[in-house]
Amino acid sequence: MIKKIILLTGAALGIGVLGFLIWAGNPLGPMEVVDEIINSSDIEVVEEKELYKIGEDNEVGLIYYPGARVDPKSYVPLAIEISKENITIFISKMSFNFAVFSPNKALEIVESNQDIDKWFIAGHSLGGAMAAKVVYENPGIFEGLILNASYPAENNSLKDKNVRVLSIYAEYDGLATVEKIDNSKDFLPEDTKYVFVEGGNHAQFGYYGPQNGDLEADISREEQRDIIAREMINFIK
C-alpha cells in the first residue's frame, strides 16, 4: 500500500512538473508588430543564445529583466527607443522564462562586456524584483536600478543602500497596483524617483498582448512606451 502511494505521489509530481515546463515554455508575446518595429528601425537588434543586444557598443549599458513568463523579445521596442540615446541594451533570456530561475544573469553580462564603463539594471514585474535582488546582493556594480511596474521584496530592501532608483508605475495596473507600489516605498531609498503613468497598465510595459488580472489601459501602447523610454533615458543620462 505504501509503495503504491509513493508511486502515485511520484507520478503526480511528475505530471505537475511537466505541466509547469509546458506552461512556462509557452510565454506571452511577442506581438507580431515587434518584427515590424525591428525591421523598420535603424537600430541594430542582435539575438544571441542568452540575450538580445540592442544598439551598438557604447560606454553605458542597461540590462533588462523580462516579466514572468514573458518572451524577452516583447521588450525590444522599448529598448530600441532607449538605445537611440547611445545606450546599449541587453535583454536577458531567463531559464523557463522566469527571472527567479536566473537571478544573476546580469553579472554574466557585465563580465562579458568589459568595455562598458557604466551599468544600469532594470526589469518589469518579477524581472524588476529580481533586478533589485541583484543590486541588493552586489553593491557597487550598478549606477542605478529601474523598476517598471515592480518593487523589491522585503528581504531585499534597498532603503539604506547607496543606489539611485527610478520606479515607474501605471494607473490601471491590475498586478503591480498603485497600492502595492505605495506599500513598497519603505523598501526603497528616500530619494527614489517615482513616475506615475496616467492611463497606463501592466501589459503595456511590453509588447506581449493582454495579461490576466490586468486592467484596460486608457492610452495606447506606443504612448506608454514613449513615456517609459523618456523617463528611463532621463534617469540614465
Question: Helix, strand or coil for residue 23?
Answer: helix
CATH number at residue 44: 3.40.50.1820
Q: What is the mean pLDDT of the chain?
A: 91
For residue 3, what pLDDT is reported? 52
Q: How many domains does the chain have?
A: 1
Range of the domain at 184: 29-236
CB 125 within 8 A of CB 67: yes
Domain annotation covers residue 221: yes
For residue 2, what pLDDT is reported? 54
Domain annotation covers residue 183: yes
Sign of CA pseudo-dihedral 155, 160, 162, 164: positive
Domain annotation covers residue 151: yes
**Pick the residue with more confidence: 104 or 7?**
104
Strands 118-124 vs 60-65: parallel, antiparallel or unpaired: parallel
User: Could you say which DSSP state residue 28 is in?
Assistant: B
For residue 46, what pLDDT is reported? 97
Virtual torsion, Cα 84, 41, 207, 134, nearest 10 deg: -40
Domain annotation covers residue 184: yes
The residue whose grid cell reads 497598465 is 201
Taking residues 72-100, report their average pLDDT. 96
Q: In the predicted model, is pLDDT for residue 59 greater than 70?
A: yes
Set of cell numbers at residue 104: 544573476
State CA 151 to chain mean position distance. Answer: 11
